[in-house]
Structure 1
Amino acid sequence: MSALEANVIPLGGSGLSPEEHRIQLRRAVIASTIGTAIEWYDFFLYSTVTGLVFAKLFFPNSDPWVGTLEAFAIYAVGFVARPVGAAIFGHYGDRIGRKSTLIATLLCMGLATFAVALVPTYDRIGIWGAVLLTVLRFIQGVGVGGEWGGSVLMSMEWARNNHSRGLVASWPQFGVPCGLFLANLAVLAFSQMSGEQFLAWGWRIPFALSLILVGVGLYIRLGILETPIFAKLVAERKVERAPMLAVIKEYPKEILMSAFARMSEQAPFYIFTAFVFSYGIKSLGLSRDFLLTAVLAASVVSFVSIPVFGHVSDRIGRKNMYMIGALVTGIFGFIYFAMLKTGSEPIIFLAIILSLIPHDMQYGPQAALIAESFTGRLRYSGASLGYQLASVIAGGPAPLIATWLYATTNSATAIAIYIAACAVITLIATALMTDYTGKDISAEYQARSAR
């Protein structure tokens, strides 16, 4: 027996009673969800502060909209780094296991976020402050790039019932609105400081608090067991030596379709939760606290809607639920900006609250839809790469594109058209994917050439 087998087989769940298995499933879901919430707190904290602070502190000599573009350019670096993280941690997730890899991603993300709190501004070291932010944002992106695949698999691969994977896999997705809520709550709390204190040093405190959250996340993740599916791969000596190369060779279509399927989920999400701050303050004259509170309320709605739509996908099929969500998103973009344009704070507040529901119609079933598309020995690599490639074509560029479209046309209609175009791409890509709802994913899939 190899050292790897000795470490994994006893933790795989083989021989566990149904009650013991349920306990491990519950622990895995809790650990994945809480750990993911902490990681997304780190990532969203950066995106929230970007629109509120970074343009002023790190690009003070630029025109306001140009400074915003420059700040969002650094913000986008985190998205470019996410496929890098997917490649690195996807490899190790399929080689040494889901649990160990998830601990590494949490450390990578948390330490980089804490370091952001220490970066000097333009007044202190000039452009080097922006350079340091760029490096730390890249490290953040690497960490979160490996996080998603592992957290989803840690939950989904403990599910025994083939007809509940949509719900089980949606709980790590719940970490996104939870992280968004915590990030906006932290910024809202410290933005109550008088005068210029928030700009001077108050914004740094939420980043520094990340170190405490990392400690909590590590404590929780160290107590979980490896998934039965990975333990089985080890026992049967089917662990792939070079999983990232293998998945690119065997599943190129699934990787690309997974990325394109995220267009109408990820691009609008960052418009609704990041771009809205610069647009709302500069163009609509809204207060920072009003926008933070509205996004907080929207994230609370997602606490419920994400698992609900994940559960619905177990009933009507993953693809059906996902495509309905994409269609609704394409239409809602026009409604959203029309509501914002009214200038009425109650209507604007309602628009922001509703904005994440079309997103959640896709995000709920998305984890299972993508992860199920890859066989077990390549699942961490394939799901991570497909999911995170969307960061380069959707999430990262979205605030930049939205800012550029508005600065060029002086109209939010162009942004709504961009959202609709993303929805069309998603509908086509999702239609080309295979739906594994209710099917067994524990056995090795047929070879690519046989499918």
Structure 2
Amino acid sequence: MSTSPLSATPPDVAGKNSTSRVIFASFIGTAIEFYDFYVYATAAALVIGPVFFPHSSATAQALSAFVTFGIAFVARPIGSFLFGHFGDRIGRKSTLVASLLVMGLSTTLIGFVPGYDSIGSLAPILLCVLRFGQGIGLGGEWGGAALLATENAPPGKRGWFGMFPQLGPSIGFLASNGLFFGLALSLSDEQFRSWGWRVPFLVSAVLVAIGLYVRLKIAETPAFQAAIDREERVRVPVATLISQHWRPTILGALAMVVCYTLFYNATTFSLSYGVSTLHIPRQTFLGMLCIAVVFMALATPLSAWAADRFGRKPVLIAGILAAIVSGFAMAPLLGSGSTPLVLLFLIIELFLMGVTFAPMGALLPELFPTNVRYTGAGVSYNLGGILGASVAPYIAQVLAAHGGLTWVGAYVSCAAVVSLVGVLCMRETRHTQLM
């Protein structure tokens, strides 16, 4: 009879890695990390341009803000290589603590950077450096959180356990967007641009302290401890990954493209477009995003359950096909400017984001052996970010300016096709043993 990883560990370790503690530690870290990341995404859509890039053109400001947004996605694979190396060599726990510190410190310091009017060109330089730090930290976060959950999961429940790191982003986004929503309601535009936008960045310091407390209480995962006992660790995980596991790395990255494109076009681009072009009040659009992200959170456990029941590939294929169709809804729904139709568009896109995102918490770790799993899962995840998210708001902004929302919708559909190819070419991983 097979035993769960939790039951196979010594009693003291099993106690530290109880089901509730593992779930909470994997969830809270990604919630905080993505809170930090989404705080910047929202600020980029609303205020980063005029504060740090005071060009005469609003379009130039928006494009400059979205360039700084993309910097972190370039940094994320670097973070995956860096933290993945130590995660596969030293262990999951200590690496997760370090990634959380890097991300939290970078986010908090952004809240203290003066604007262009105060220190000139040094302001955007400091902003870019700290944004790069955000990307480094997040690059090391997700892979470790997914491994913490899946390497402790009982048989047949890996998709469900892997869902909790995937649920963190919904909560992180809801917290960051909700805070911006509250500030939009309580502050004037002048107050918000002067100092109000900095508050969510400063709140990150408190959240990181909570996350560190939780993660310092957990023990190493059973799968990694078993790899140590069998002396299976490799000296340079990234070299082994590139030489022996390049194919699943590429396919995993392609599979992630649809998740990122759906999310950042439905949030960062749509928020910027809705406020600046459709002239929907900022607080109204933020409120609609808060409602829509609830549907993303609801889709996450449903999709994870289905992935355990039917397999990773069938669930992903169904979600990706729906995402391809959803691109055609962008112009008539978002472009209408009607609040109910815009809300419907946001709900559709974020629900599909949850459907396609949830299985990744189990799928990407299942593609790799234990000795390169941290590196492989993280690199695939964050390479997908470069392809699907780093340039997504920028490309969408350019396409909207030159061809309208129909072109932006076509871009979303094309990104989904890229993911469909990746998923069709990979193996089903539901019955893979994480040894």
Q: Would you call these one fold, judging by a TM-score over 0.5?
A: yes
- The residue that corresponds to 2:359 in the other structure is 365
Code of the residue aligned with 2:157 in structure 1: it is S
- Deviation of 1:62 after TM superposition, in Å, equals 3.4
Question: Pick from 215, 223, 229: which aligns with 1:221?
Answer: 215
Question: Pick from 115, 130, 154: which aligns with 1:121?
Answer: 115
Judge conservation of contact 2:257–2:385 (CA < 8 Å) in 1: no
- Deviation of 1:205 after TM superposition, in Å, equals 1.0
- Deviation of 1:33 after TM superposition, in Å, equals 0.2
Instruction: Give CA deviations for 1:370-406 in whole Å, capped at 9, x if unaligned.
Output: 1100011110011111111112211101001000111
Judge conservation of contact 1:180–1:299 (CA < 8 Å) in 2: yes
Alignment of 1:32 with 2:26, yes or no, is yes
Question: Pick from 218, 235, 246: which aligns with 1:241?
Answer: 235
Alignment of 1:435 with 2:431, yes or no, is no
Judge conservation of contact 2:160–2:308 (CA < 8 Å) in 1: yes
Question: Pick from 166, 169, 184: which aligns with 2:162?
Answer: 169
Structure 1 residues 318, 415: closer, same or farther in 2, change over 3 A? same
Alignment of 1:417 with 2:381, yes or no, is no
Code of the residue aligned with 2:354 in structure 1: it is D
Judge conservation of contact 1:113–1:136 (CA < 8 Å) in 2: yes
d(CA) in 2 for partners of 1:320 and 1:402?
29
- Deviation of 1:336 after TM superposition, in Å, equals 3.2
Q: How does 1:249-328 map to 2 (within 5 A)?
A: 249-328=243-322
Judge conservation of contact 2:297–2:354 (CA < 8 Å) in 1: no
Judge conservation of contact 2:87–2:374 (CA < 8 Å) in 1: yes
- The residue that corresponds to 1:446 in the other structure is none
SS of the counterpart of 2:280?
coil
- The residue that corresponds to 1:48 in the other structure is 42
- The residue that corresponds to 1:136 in the other structure is 130
Judge conservation of contact 1:60–1:122 (CA < 8 Å) in 2: yes
d(CA) in 2 for partners of 1:440 and 1:48?
40
Q: How does 1:343-362 map to 2 (within 5 A)?
A: 343-362=337-356
d(CA) in 1 for partners of 2:56 and 2:367?
46
Structure 1 residues 182, 231: closer, same or farther in 2, change over 3 A? same
Identity %: 37
d(CA) in 2 for partners of 1:278 and 1:195?
15
Question: Over aligned residues, Cα RMSD in angstroms?
Answer: 1.7
d(CA) in 2 for partners of 1:102 and 1:15?
21
d(CA) in 2 for partners of 1:320 and 1:103?
35
- Deviation of 1:365 after TM superposition, in Å, equals 0.6
Judge conservation of contact 2:330–2:406 (CA < 8 Å) in 1: no
d(CA) in 1 for partners of 2:383 and 2:49?
27
Instruction: Give CA deviations for 1:281-304 in whole Å, capped at 9, x if unaligned.
Output: 122110111111111112222222
d(CA) in 2 for partners of 1:371 and 1:25?
19
- The residue that corresponds to 1:398 in the other structure is 392
SS of the counterpart of 1:203?
helix
- The residue that corresponds to 1:186 in the other structure is 179
Instruction: Give CA deviations for 1:32-90 in whole Å, capped at 9, x if unaligned.
Output: 10111001000000000101001111111231111100110011001000000000000
- Deviation of 1:13 after TM superposition, in Å, equals 6.5
Provide TM-score, normalisation by structure 2. 0.96
d(CA) in 2 for partners of 1:93 and 1:15?
20
d(CA) in 2 for partners of 1:83 and 1:362?
21
SS of the counterpart of 1:177?
helix
Q: How does 1:78-93 map to 2 (within 5 A)?
A: 78-93=72-87
Provide TM-score, normalisation by structure 1. 0.92
Q: Once structures 1 and 2 are overlaid, which stretch shifts more, 261-270 or 63-72? A: 261-270
Judge conservation of contact 1:13–1:227 (CA < 8 Å) in 2: no
Code of the residue aligned with 1:344 in structure 2: it is S
Judge conservation of contact 2:73–2:386 (CA < 8 Å) in 1: yes
Judge conservation of contact 2:88–2:374 (CA < 8 Å) in 1: yes
Question: Pick from 102, 106, 113: which aligns with 1:108?
Answer: 102
Judge conservation of contact 2:6–2:152 (CA < 8 Å) in 1: no
d(CA) in 1 for partners of 2:48 and 2:34?
19
Code of the residue aligned with 1:322 in structure 2: it is L
- The residue that corresponds to 1:408 in the other structure is 402
Segments of 5+ residues of structure 2 without an aligned counterpart are: none
d(CA) in 1 for partners of 2:6 and 2:229?
10
SS of the counterpart of 2:195?
helix
Judge conservation of contact 1:406–1:415 (CA < 8 Å) in 2: yes
- The residue that corresponds to 2:144 in the other structure is 150
d(CA) in 2 for partners of 1:337 and 1:306?
26
d(CA) in 1 for partners of 2:56 and 2:317?
42
